[in-house]
Structure 1
Amino acid sequence: MTEDDIATASGLPVYTWRRRHGADFRARVPVVNPRERLRLYDTAQVVAYLKGARIPASPARDAIHPDDLLSDKEAGAVLGIDATTVRAYAATGYLPGGIERHGRTWWFRQDIEARRDAPDQRQYNPGRQPGDPRNRAPRQRHDPRIAEVAALLFVGQVTTAEIAEHYQVGERTAQRLLAAARTRPES
């Protein structure tokens, strides 16, 4: 839990909670992640503090649970990669996207360990697969005017102005029709 969560559980605004109870709380309940910017506290210890009961011992640092939430740095340490690479892998689908809590992304330990123990799949493409019909180039449209312009070219010289006037199209379209007719194979 964060201090915001603890203040909410106490029924106080976070600034009031920090002013009235923050110093006493921090003296009695140790931070779970001492080197991180966002201070997190063990839920069982927080509940005991709020109830006024005896605070249980801190969880063992080496106690591993599959539902533990890992930051990008912790996930990178498990995988043997940098924290930026963890975020990049999550963005590309190589790792699960994680969950958003307290303004940060967290990954479940079981997902990170599953990726660590799985064979390398970075070549996996989560997008369109080979053979997908959407990967093909658009089909060439058959324009019957091209054959007619090619026939006019076969008979004699024709200009783009004549093509534009005959088909009631713009100058650029007439140029395209003429170019396509010139590159068209003779039948």
Structure 2
Amino acid sequence: MTRSCKAFEDLLQQAQRPVLGHLIRLTGSIHAAQDVLQSANVTAMEKQYAFEEGTNFVAWLSQIACNHHRNQARKLATSSSVVLVDDQLHDVIERRHRERVEQNRQRNNWQRLSHCLDQLPDHQRELVQRFYLDGQTLNELAEMSGRKANAIGQALHRARQRLVRCVQQTGDSTDAEFLSDHPLSQPTAETP
């Protein structure tokens, strides 16, 4: 069986696209498929005289590539199984830690905000309670109090300003940022 290296290289070149497509479907990644194909090409060049002329070259190269993929998968499974468990455990611990930090931050912010709400005059605290927590509209508050909706909106604005100042005095700037994003600082479209 004499075959020129040029003829084999031509067969190898023609097989690249179909074998790569097969490997992409197998691995789910173009980069992983390219790596496997490169390894398969090296093996094919080393064993080129084992290929029987007249048989399907693409199938021959695909089999070599599949064997490389299986070997890589086995190596990865045995060498990284402990690492994967450790990585997953680390991710769970890290996520839980971030959740706890966020819960503590929110609890502290609510405590600070609650303290500041207690510092408001009774009429402002009642407006804040009814508008933000009970969900009453400016018009409903105006009807109930016999005042205009504009006046209620201005009173709510003043209450928010007092809350912001109080939070700034009792906490650091990040707490004031929290308040600016908090629903109590965002009036509905009805508020002037």
- TM-score calculated relative to the size of structure 1: 0.30
Q: Greater strand share, 1 or 2?
A: 1
More helix by share: 2
Where relative contact order (Cα < 8 A, 6+ residues apart) is larger, the structure is 2
Length-normalised TM-score, structure 2: 0.29
